[in-house]
Each structure stands twice: as structure tokens, then as C-alpha cells.
Amino acid sequence: MIHSIKVGISLVLVSLLYLLDPLYEQVGENAMWAIMTVVVIFEFSAGATLGKGLNRGMGTIVGGGLGCIIAILAQKLGGVGSNYYILIAGISIFIFGAIATYFRMIASIKKRYEYGVMILILTFNLVLMSVVREEQQVWEIACDRLLTIVIGFIISISVSCFFFPLWSSDQFHHSTLSTFQQLAYAIQGCLEDYMKFANEKENEAAATTNFTFCKSLMNSKSKDELLVNYAKWEPWHGKFGFSYPWQNYLKIGDLNRDLAAIILALRSCLQASKKPMKLQSWSETIQLTEPYCEEIGSNIVWTLKELGESMKQMRKIHASQFSTKLKASRAEIISMVVMMNIFTFNKISSTTLSILNNNNCD
Amino acid sequence: MIHSIKVGISLVLVSLLYLLDPLYEQVGENAMWAIMTVVVIFEFSAGATLGKGLNRGMGTIVGGGLGCIIAILAQKLGGVGSNYYILIAGISIFIFGAIATYFRMIASIKKRYEYGVMILILTFNLVLMSVVREEQQVWEIACDRLLTIVIGFIISISVSCFFFPLWSSDQFHHSTLSTFQQLAYAIQGCLEDYMKFANEKENEAAATTNFTFCKSLMNSKSKDELLVNYAKWEPWHGKFGFSYPWQNYLKIGDLNRDLAAIILALRSCLQASKKPMKLQSWSETIQLTEPYCEEIGSNIVWTLKELGESMKQMRKIHASQFSTKLKASRAEIISMVVMMNIFTFNKISSTTLSILNNNNCD
């Protein structure tokens, strides 16, 4: 909603370039390029806008420069309009377009600079066209267009960064924090399920919500990468510096996803164990395992909440320390899975075998 | 590589519009819009190109139409250039920009039509600008631009679809097929690990490659959705019809990801069980479980390969049948995890308990 209003304001500001006579006299028809810049680069977060804007700027400068060089070269060799000129232009467009497209497809460039390369190809072609058809100086065209693009860029960035800014870095930081909380809840949910299960209450509706979070977390990698990409473009603001270690956030995200996968597996194991469970009264088993499971479980929950809290307050913890703790949590959960199975099946393994043979274990 | 050459060819074709005099006389300066169209809509796969092209076309038509209506309305009320006209234009730009941006952010529109809405905003603004500044008929400008955009669209689509086409649908179909194969290999790898483990050979380098596939599969959801999005734009070709059930492919993908998560959990359990295992000679246990595990395992592997094969030959299997089979595989794997644990820990549970208490399991 705020974003929509911001776009509206930017559009009106840039439209003044052609609506008001004194401004139009300065920029002329090139006002079009300013409008285009605002519409195309204005994205939801400040980082995305800045990234696209800088890409557009760089693409225009490099593409325009290369276009000018080829145009001047062709002019010297043949003169504008001659067949020779057309031949050179055609060949250079082909070679240049193919090479630039090839670079555009390389994963690392595609991630951060795809838009810039696209603008580069476009500008190169438009400059060549302008030179062929308008009898103006090459540099003049290039400079006029660049000026209006800069105007559009400044309008977009000002509105995006200074008027209720929406930072990707804040968004990513908070989503990472809440992940720790949610994972802790999910583990608690598993423990509660296991205990409830003992008392044969089967209403686990409250717990399933947390598993939905785990499932959605599994598919969050590409979203995280996008946010980091934007966050990297964002200038210093609040608590995040220029060289803030976003890469470590990605590593934490990977470990959290691992943890979520194991929690989901734990849940599956619990569900699969339910049916055979009913065959036997097993309150003694639970009594035996309860203290161990509870100890491990609450230990993990505590670790996760502690990690989330220290990230929130931005205490300095060495990255390796962080990942060690998370890996330890993972190992503990796995041992919990294993242990639940031991005690559950210890007494009923013979029964289970026949069930598995009949293939009706869920 | 092929893609680069295709882009190069399209660029040269569209450049002829301004390089050759007879063509330039027809289109004039609007050749710029054809170039822009080609550069912007030409994507890697035919589906993506078609989708972007249609989005651009629709956006231009709707945006241009709305722009014309507002311009004519404002002309009737005040006449071009009057303050009244400027006021109407400014307000309509703000309202229209904000509303369109709001729609652009809605998830379902963002997914398929984001680019179209962007072009709509852009065209709307450019039409208003042209009306204010050039004393030409509104319809004339709109039609000329639309014509050149159509030329750019036709060039892009022809080169993209008829000259070594790269179809998203083919790519997605094959990646789904290979997923079945790779999952089958991963389960086989788990079984082999389990058996090897009995003979206390610890060289499992050969098996780990399959687990890498499982890990990368976990993060493939967004890529799948993108491919389906492109595949939906692709016209009838080869074996894929217009209303090909791509949604079912996404469901299969979800189930396969579930399966991969469980395979990874199975591996973790196997790894975690290793240490306590050494404390005991357990060749008898293995001898007891081997036939069961092998039966379940080979059953799953067979089912997966069968499913992959029937997809390859595009035999008609009812979707629910498909997912039932996959769900059954999942249940079987879970029972395998559970069973491995039963037999493994059956005899050594007392030893394990003390180990878990000392927290050095892993």
C-alpha cells in the first residue's frame, strides 16, 4: 500500500518534466527516458530499486560508450549512410549482441547484473540507430539521454530511500530471527505430541501449524538469496554496515533448513509409529524415556531461542560457534529420533515385523 | 551458446528497420520500439519469450487505450496545454500508477503478469506525454508504436520458436523424469551403505553423490514453478498439448521433495547409528534384517523407476494413482528407517542409553 503511493508520487514528479513548460524546454523529448527509468527501476524494497538503478546507469554508460566508438569508427571508414557503414553496423550488432547475451547467461552475472547487461545491449543499439538517422553529434545524444536517466534515477532513489523506506536487510534480518523461534516451537510441538500420544489423546491440531512453517522454510532458499542480493545494494542504515556479513545469514539459513527437514522426519516417524503403538500398552516405556527426551528437547529449544536472542541483540558470536551450536542441535534431534524409536519398538519389534510384512504400516 | 546466436540474429533483423532506407521510411523513429521489444522480451526459452511478448503486447494495448481515454477526456474539458489539463493528467497519473502498482504486488498477478502491468503503467504515461507535447492525433501515435512493437514481437517469436527452439516444457519434463531415477539411486545407495556398514567397510564415497542430488532437489521448488510458468505459455509442440496438466507435475515435484527429505533423514539416522554400532558385533542382526530391508528397498526402487518410465512413455496413469504410489513409497521408507533402528538398537539399547546421556552420539 505504502509502496503504491510511493510509485504514484514518483510518477507525478517525473511527469512534471513534460507537464510544466519551463522544465520541458530543458529536457525536450528525452523526458521519455526519465519516465521509463522511474517505471522500470522502482521496486518494492530500497535495495532492489538501488540495484536496478545502478545497473541501468552502468549499462547505459558502457553501452553508450561502446556504441559511440563503433559509430565513430564506422563514420571514419565510410561515412554515415553508406553501404559500408551499414555492413559494419550489422556485423558489430550481431557480434556484440551474441557476446553480451552469452555473458548474461553466466550464473554469477545473471544474479546481480542481468538487467545491466540487457540495458547495455539496448543502449548500444539505440545509439547506433540515432547516429545513422539523426544528423546530430553522437556525444550530444548520449549525454542528453544519460542526463534524463540520472534525473529519473534520483527521483526514484529519493522517494524509495527517504520516504517510508522499506529495507530488504531489515526484512531478511527479522525473518531469520523468527525462524529460530518457529523451529523451537516446532520441536516443542514434537515433544508435546510424543507425550500426548502416551495419554492417547489424538488432537494435535495445535502442533500442525508449526510444521507448516517447517514445510514453507524448506522452499525459502531462493527467496533468501534474492533478499541478500537486494540487501547488498543497500547503503549503510540503522545497524547494518556496508560490509555486513550477509553470506553468514545464508549459511545460517541452510543449517536451519537442515534442521527443519529433520523435524519433519521426526514428525513422520512419530506418525508412522502410532499404529503399532496401539497394540501394546506402553506407559512404562514413556515413563522410562520421558526424562531423556525432555532433557534433550528442552536443551535444543533453549539453544535455538538463545541463538535467536543473541542475533536480535547483535551480540558478537563467532560464525563457527553459531554453526557448531546448530549442528549440535541437529545431532541431538537425530539422537532423539533414534531414541524414540528404540524405546517405542524395543518391546514390540516382533509384532512390528509381521505388520511390516503385511505392508500396512500407514 | 545457441541462445546467444539467436539473439544476435534477431538484433540484426530488427536493425534492418533503421539501417535500410526503404524500411526506415515506413516506420521512422518508431523503429526504436521494435529494437526495445526484441532486446527486452528475448529470453532463454521459447515459453519465456512468448510470455513476455504477450505481456508486453497486452500491456501496451490496455495502457495505450486508457491513456487515450484520459487524454481525450482532458482535451474535451480543457484543451491541450491548459493548467486544467495538467491538473487532470497529474491526478490521473498518481491514481493510475498507485492502483496498477498495488495490483502488480498481488502474488498471482506478480507471477504471470508483472511485466505486463509494468508496461501498462509505462505506456499510459508515454501516451499522455506524447499527447501533451506533439500536436499529433492520439490514435496515430498509439497505432504507430503498436505496429513496431508487433514487428519486434514477430521477429523474436519467429527466431525463438522456429530456429533451434529451446522449450521449457521439454526441460521440465526431462528434469522430472531424471528425478525419479536419481531418487531410486539414492535409495539404492542407502541400502548399500547399510549393507557395507555390516561388513565394516567405511568407503561410501560412491553413495554421497546421490545425496547431493537429494539436497539440490530440496531447493528446486521455485525453479520448477518458473519452468511451469514458461511452459504454460508455450504453444502446442511435440507431445505437449495446450492444456497439458503441468499442475500435476508440480504436485509430483512436491511429493518427490518429500521423498528426498526422508532419504536425507534416513542417511542421517544411518550415520548417527554408526558409532554405537561398533561397540557390538552385530552380524546376526544384519542377517536377520537384510531380507526385509532389501525387499522393501528394492520394491521402492522398482516403483520409482516404473513411475519414471511410464512418465517417459506418457502412459495414462490417473494422477491419484501416481500420488498414491509415491505416498506408499514414502510410508515404506519411513518403516525402513524405523525398522533399521529397531534391529540396530534392539540388542544395544542399554549401551546406547548411557552414550546418549554422555551426549557423544555423533
- Can you give the pLDDT at residue B351? 36
- Can you give the pLDDT at residue A133? 67
Phi, psi at A256, each rounded to 5°? -65, -35
Number of neighbouring beta carbons within 10 Å of residue B133: 17
Per the CB < 8 Å rule, is A132 touching B19? yes
Give the nearest partner residue to A36 out of B122, B268, B349, using CB atoms: B122
Cα(A181)–Cα(A187) distance, integer angstroms: 10
Q: Which residues of A touch B361 (CB under 8 A)?
A: 331, 334-335, 338
Query: Any chain A CB within 8 A of the CB of B31?
Result: yes
Query: Any chain B CB within 8 A of the CB of A322?
Result: no
Q: Look at the block and give the residue holding cell 516405556.
A: A285
Torsion of CA B333, B334, B338, B341, to 10 degrees: 60
Region of B82 please: left (phi>0), alpha (psi -120 to 50) or beta. Answer: beta
Q: Which residues of B touch A86 (CB under 8 A)?
A: 19-20
Q: Which residues of A touch B43 (CB under 8 A)?
A: none
Terminal-residue alpha carbon distance, chain A: 47
**What's the gap in Å between the CA of B317 and the closest CA on chain A?**
23
Query: Any chain B CB within 8 A of the CB of A83?
Result: no
Per the CB < 8 Å rule, is B105 touching A261? no
Q: Which residues of B touch A44 (CB under 8 A)?
A: 105
pLDDT tens for B282-335 read 455 555 566 666 776 777 777 777 777 777 776 665 556 666 766 676 676 666
Q: Comparing B337 with A40, which gets the higher pLDDT?
A: A40
Q: Which residues of A touch B331 (CB under 8 A)?
A: 272, 361-362
Per the CB < 8 Å rule, is B125 touching A39? yes
pLDDT tens for B275-294 read 444 444 445 555 556 666 67
Per the CB < 8 Å rule, is A346 touching B343? no
The DSSP code sequence of A129-178 is HHHHHS-S-HHHHHHHHHHHHHHHHHHHHHHHHHSS---HHHHHHHHHHH
Residues whose CB is less than 8 angstroms from the CB of residue B225 and which lie 6 or more positions away in sequence, other chains included:
B111, B250
Q: Which residues of B touch A337 (CB under 8 A)?
A: 265, 269
Per the CB < 8 Å rule, is A86 touching B341? no
Closest residue by Cα to residue B306 from B291, B295, B317, B296: B317
Per the CB < 8 Å rule, is B219 touching A219? yes
Residue of A nearest to B361 (CA): A335
What residues does B187 pair with on adjacent strands?
none
**What's the gap in Å between the CA of A348 and the closest CA on chain B?**
9
Give the nearest partner residue to B339 out of A11, A223, A356, using CB atoms: A356
**What's the gap in Å between the CA of A9 and the closest CA on chain B?**
6
Give the nearest partner residue to A335 out of B5, B97, B272, using CB atoms: B272
Q: Are the C-beta atoms of residues A11 and B121 closer than 8 Å to each other?
A: yes
Give the nearest partner residue to A15 out of B122, B125, B342, using CB atoms: B125
**What's the gap in Å between the CA of A319 and the closest CA on chain B?**
21
What does pTM read for this prediction?
0.75
Query: Any chain A CB within 8 A of the CB of B265?
Result: yes
Give the nearest partner residue to B341 out of A39, A118, A341, using CB atoms: A341
Range 165-204 of B in CB contact (< 8 A) with A: none
pLDDT by residue, tens only, chain A of 362 residues? 788 888 888 888 888 777 777 777 777 777 788 888 888 888 888 888 888 888 888 888 888 888 888 877 877 776 666 677 778 778 888 888 888 888 888 877 777 888 888 888 888 888 877 777 665 666 777 777 788 888 888 888 888 888 887 888 888 888 888 888 888 888 777 777 766 665 554 444 444 556 777 778 877 888 888 888 888 777 767 667 667 777 778 888 887 887 787 777 777 666 655 544 444 444 555 555 666 667 767 777 777 777 777 777 766 655 566 667 666 766 766 666 665 555 444 433 333 333 333 333 33
pLDDT tens for B160-207 read 888 887 888 888 888 888 888 888 888 777 777 766 665 554 444 444
Number of neighbouring beta carbons within 10 Å of residue B320: 8
State the average pLDDT over residues B139-159. 82
Give the nearest partner residue to A125 out of B35, B125, B223, using CB atoms: B35
- Can you give the pLDDT at residue B231? 80
pLDDT tens for B41-71 read 888 888 888 888 888 888 888 888 888 888 7
Give the nearest partner residue to A273 out of B7, B15, B338, using CB atoms: B338
Closest residue by Cα to residue A195 from A273, A286, A274, A285: A286
From residue A167, give the alpha-carbon distance in Å to each of A81, A173, A235, A317: 50, 10, 10, 24
CB burial of A25-63 (b: ≥16 within 10 Å; e: otherwise) equals: eebeebbbbbbbbbbbbbbbbbbbbbbbbbbbbbbbbbb
- Can you give the pLDDT at residue A207? 47
**What's the gap in Å between the CA of A70 and the closest CA on chain B?**
15
Query: Any chain A CB within 8 A of the CB of B12?
Result: yes
The stretches of A163-279 forming alpha helices (DSSP H) are 168-198, 205-218, 221-233, 246-278
Phi, psi at B240, each rounded to 5°? -100, 120
Q: Of all residues in chain B, what percent are helix, strand and coil, respectively (each to 5)?
A: 85, 0, 15
Residue B270 has pLDDT above 70, yes or no: no
- Can you give the pLDDT at residue A358? 39
Mean of all residue pLDDT scores within chain B: 73
Per the CB < 8 Å rule, is B18 touching A218? no
pLDDT tens for B2-31 read 888 888 888 888 888 777 777 777 777 777
Residue of B nearest to A19 (CA): B86
* Interface predicted TM-score (ipTM): 0.74
